[in-house]
Every structure is written in structure tokens, then in C-alpha cells.
Amino acid sequence: MTDLVTQDKWDKLAANFDVMAGNGAEKRWLPKKRELFSHMQGKVLFLALGTGLDIVAFPPGQDITAIDISPKMVEQAESRVAAYDGTIDARVMDVHELDFPDGHFDQVFTSCTFCSVPDPIAGLRSLQRVLKPGGELYMFEHTGSRVFPFNMMMKLMSQLTERVGPSMSRQTVANVHEAGYELLEVENLFLDVVKIIKARVPAHH
């Protein structure tokens, strides 16, 4: 069953999400996101769609399935989905309960998603199920820091931010490893906080 608490939290933010997110982070990381999303090929799953802010960084001509737990977010994304020069099949879905067959996708892309997934390891395992053996996981994420005093500060911040939105202290690289992926590459973009993670499902999975 869909996590209604999380769904409600993001539904409430949907109408003002673009204002809250501002355009600073989008503008700052657009070149890096374009570079990351340029790897899209084959059957691609993107999460979480949100209001579709990342669509501008997608390469044209792709056939993408995009999911989000919040129906209101997907509703807000409609105009950006329609404007994309390719196909985006936008669906409301909880990452913990993906309604796709095993081994359905070649690639999964995430963008600032696993700071908000309530059970990140279960969510990553769920993605692994729908990826083909050898399928690739590409993540643009902000994570907790391992460096003092940032680690302490971000744990404190998380006490507040988790009530309204994302966590600031997730150890996403370790979570990817624990979920059973083969880590390929981690690129730190800002400190050890904003990063790109590349991993794949083991070929014998």
C-alpha cells in the first residue's frame, strides 16, 4: 500500500514547490545534470518526477517512464511533460511498490530523490528488481557529509527538514552498496554532500 504519510507531505508542497526550490540550485547544477542524463538510452525509469524541474536537462527523443509518489506533483509537472521533445509516461507510484515487471528497465535515473524516500535501502532494492541484470543506476543526490563539522550540523538540520521534506544526512553511497549494487563511480560535486553516483545491478542478479 502506498505510503500515505509521505504522499500527503509532498502533495502539500506541490503547489509551492517551484517557489520553494527556487531556481538557484537548478541553474547551478544544470550542466552536470545534462551531462548525467546524456547517458539515457533504452528503457529508462526516472524518479522522482516532482514538478518536472529536471525535464529541461533530459536529452531529446527519449522514451522515459517517470514516477512520483505525489499525484499533485505529477499534476504540476503536466506542462513540462507535454513540452518535452520525446515521450514521458508520468505515473503516480511509490518506489517501494513499483508496478513494473522484473527486469523491465535498462536504466534508472534519480535526482534528489533518496533524501526523501522513507526506507532508502528497500527503495533501492525495489529499483534493482525492475532493472535488468547489468542495468545501470545513475543518481544525482545530496547526502550527509562524513566530514566534521558538516556531518554534525547536517544531522541537526535533518531533525527539522525531515518534518517538512528531505533528510540532510542520508548515507546514500553506503545505501547503494548495501542494497546490492556494484558501485562504479562517485563524483563529489560540492564537498562530499552533492554527488553523482553510478552503479549497476550485478550481471548474475
Partner 1 sequence: MDNRLYFVLGDLFSIIVIGGFIGLLSVAIVGTDWNMWVAMIVMMVVGMALALPAAFLFGYWFGAMEIMVPAMQAGMWSGMVVGMWHPMSALSLSQGALLGAVVGLVVLNIIWALNVALRGTRHFAGGAL
Contact residues for partner 1, defined by CB under 8 A: 19, 21-25, 28, 142, 145, 147, 149-150, 153-154, 156-157, 160, 168, 173-174, 177, 181-194, 199, 202
Q: Which is nearer to partner 1, 59 or 180 (CB)?
A: 180
Nearest approach in angstroms of CB 193 to partner 1 is: 5
Q: Which is nearer to partner 1, 2 or 28 (CB)?
A: 28
Total Cβ atoms within 10 A of residue 89: 11
Which residues contact residue 114 at a Cβ distance below 8 angstroms, ignoring those fewer than 6 apart?
120, 123, 124, 139, 141, 170, 172, 175
Nearest approach in angstroms of CB 182 to partner 1 is: 3
H or E segment at 115?
none
Q: Which is nearer to partner 1, 87 or 159 (CB)?
A: 159
Q: Which is nearer to partner 1, 2 or 39 (CB)?
A: 39
Nearest approach in angstroms of CB 186 to partner 1 is: 5
Of 21, 132, 2, 18, the C-alpha closest to 67 is 2
Q: 71 preceded by cis ω (within 30°)?
A: no
